[in-house]
Each structure stands twice: as C-alpha cells, then as structure tokens.
Copies of this chain bind each other. A is one copy, B any other.
Amino acid sequence: MRPASTGTRFLDEVREYVRQDLMPSHAEAGEPPTPAQREFHLRGLSNWWLPEKYYGKGLSLSESVDVVSELAYGDAGSAFTLFISILGSTMVSLFGAEDLKDRTLRKTGTSGGFSATLGTERKAGSELGDIATVATHTSGQITINGDKLFATNADFADFLVVIARSTENRLEHLAIVVPRETPGVRIVKRWKTFGLNSAATYQVSFEDCRVPEAHALRGPGLLLLEVGLNASRILIAATGLGLSRRIRDMCLDYARTKQLRGTSLLENPVFAAKIGQMEMQIDAMRNQCLAAAAEFDTLATRDDGPAELLSRGALRSAVAAKMFCGQTAWQLAGIGSEMLGGLGYTDETVAGKLLRDARYISLVEGGDDVLKDLLYRRYAKPSAKRR
C-alpha cells in the first residue's frame, strides 16, 4: 500500500516545479505542450492520478486538489493542460474494458501523454441530448461522423473520448475511445481564447472515423460523461483556488513596495479588509473542493464504485465546487486588478493575466445557468434529495 506521505512529498515536488519552471519562465510561451509543461513530465510528475501500474502516482482526487491549486498558482493554463486528461482517463478507468484500459492508460502514463474529451457542439451547446455527432455500428466496428466545438489537448492527445449519438437509437449515446492518429480525425482549428493561453483548445471533426466496438465504454454515454465531469469539475474549481491564492499574494507583494500617506500599504485598513475577506473566501473554496473530492474518492474506491457513480451522475458537491470557485475567483480577480492602481492595467503586473484566466472557470464544462438548473432539478426540487 501507498504510504500516507506520498501525497505530501508529491506536493513538495510540484511546488518546486512551479517555482523553478512555471513561474520564472514565460509560462505562456510556446505551443502546448509548452517547454514548461514538458518539463513536468521530465520531472516524473505527469498524470499523477493514474494508478501506479499505469505509471501514475496513484494520488486521490483529494490529494489532487492542492496539486492543481499549486499548478494554477503558477499558471492556470498549464494546470488545465496537465490535469484535464483526468476527465477521459476517469471514464476509461471506470467504464472501459480491461484491455482498452491497459492500452490507453498505460501509453498515456508512460509518455506523459494527454487525452481529450469531446462533448460540446456548436448547436447543442450544453444540451448534449441534442448532439449531431453520430456513431454507427458496422461489423464489429463503430464509425463516427460529426464536429466537436471545444476539445482541450485534442491535437497532441494520445486518445480522444468522443460523445456520439447512436444512429440505431436516437436516444442512446455512446462514449467512444478514439486514438488520435485514427484516420478521419481532423483538427479544424485551434481557438484563440480570452485567457488560458498556455492551454490549447481545438475544434475537431470526424469523418468516417472507424474504431473497434470494444472502444465504446460500458454504459450510457451522457451519464458516463457526467461521472467523469465530477473529477474534472472539482479540479477546475481547484484552479480557481490557486488563482485566488495568487491574486492575494500579488496584492500583498505589491503592498509591500507601495507607500500610502507615509506608511506601507500593508498597514492600510482598507487594504487589510479586502485581503481579510479574500482569505476567508480562499478557505471556503479549498474546503469545498476537498469535501467534493473526498465524496468522489469515497464513491470511486467502493467495490461497486462504477455502478454507484453511474446511479448518481453529477454530484452536488462537484457541481457546487465549480460554481462556487468560478464565481469567487472571478470576483477576487476583479478586486485584485483594482488594487494595483493604473499599473494593474498594464503588463507590468499579472493582474490582467489572472483576470483572463479566472474567467474560464465559469465558462467550461457547464456555465452557471446550466448548473443552477441542474442543481435545482436534481437536488433541490425533489425534497428527498435536499440536505
């Protein structure tokens, strides 16, 4: 069994990586995976959540919260690039055939590789029930056709997990593992985004793309995706935690150098009040991420984990974590960007980058309007589900 200190030691190594590689370098320089991101693998840190047999570290989601927070402290785009494969690997790990699992996860683990999960489409938006990408079963194979709007890491991923509608049954959806090099997979373009510049999100099309039937994960595709999103939403929330810690420290660093009416800004009560409020919010963000991660870990390590997770789908705590950290990090980024005066509007500070990065949390994997509705229908309206 893994000694309890593994997580702590790993976290120290991540901190060192952030300090030495991510923060000094221009973290956003280069095409993803950037040199700084490749260094993460060279240090033996990549895909830390995978079991050791797949060359990961076997860290739990709970332990991953602080890992991602540290990475996002350095650069949220790199954090996103380095952890978002967890969405696909969780789906494969829980619902893939043993052989598929071995091939895909082992490869990713060895190479420090990536995976991408493709749900959203232009017309369907967050309503995945309406997607137009279709999968057709033909003689032991599945053929995929369609166009996916946003897929982070897709170009340089080892494999893609594609959500498609069955041509046999309009109401049935599949989640299918598609190796990146499969003929018919085409990168339409890389999106130019408002922030998260060191992450790369692509539009991807599938034209008569064929994979063996065993590449379909077991279970209804949309629900499998919901299960996987629990893991990724919690870590997206954790980037909000890391960004918020960075915002706080940016303000404190600035205050240390700034005089106001003859004393250090550090001694200014208005400044103190703002940072005190941030400190409270940071604590609440972290505890929400940790509680959500602990719930997921508990379920995932049960003998009937996959079944239980399927029966629950999107967990209240995971959805709440992303909403809460997204709203809070955005609020803090706004306050932080005002604290530096006019300099906060220039590239002499990271205030602008933190604003741009913090914006993504509420926009990916379900906007707040969608998630409020989900929480309402699943957990508030049915009185038995309320707590």
Contacts and interface: CB of A to CB of B under 8 A. Distances in A.
A98 interface: no
A349 to B, nearest CB: 9
Nearest to A291: B287
Contacts of A150: 342
Contacts of A386: 245, 248-249, 279
Interface in A368-384: 368-369, 371-377, 379-381, 383
Point out which of A123, A194, A275, A344 has the most chain B C-beta atoms below 10 A from its C-beta. Answer: A194
A381 B252 contact: yes
A192 B380 contact: no
Given A359-B355, A373-B269, A341 B316 contact: no
Given A279-B316, A387-B286, A376 B345 contact: no
A31 interface: no
Interface residues of A, number: 84
A367 B347 contact: no
Nearest to A251: B380
A252 B359 contact: no
Interface in A243-294: 245, 248-249, 252, 258-261, 266, 268-270, 272-284, 286-288, 290-292
B279 A376 contact: yes
A271 to B, nearest CB: 8
A342 B363 contact: yes
Contact of A276 (B337, B345, B372): B372
13 contacts: A123-B259, A127-B260, A194-B344, A252-B381, A276-B375, A277-B323, A279-B379, A280-B324, A287-B291, A330-B334, A342-B363, A345-B360, A355-B355
8 closest Cβ contacts across the A-B interface?
A276-B372, A194-B352, A287-B291, A276-B376, A283-B320, A272-B376, A276-B375, A280-B320
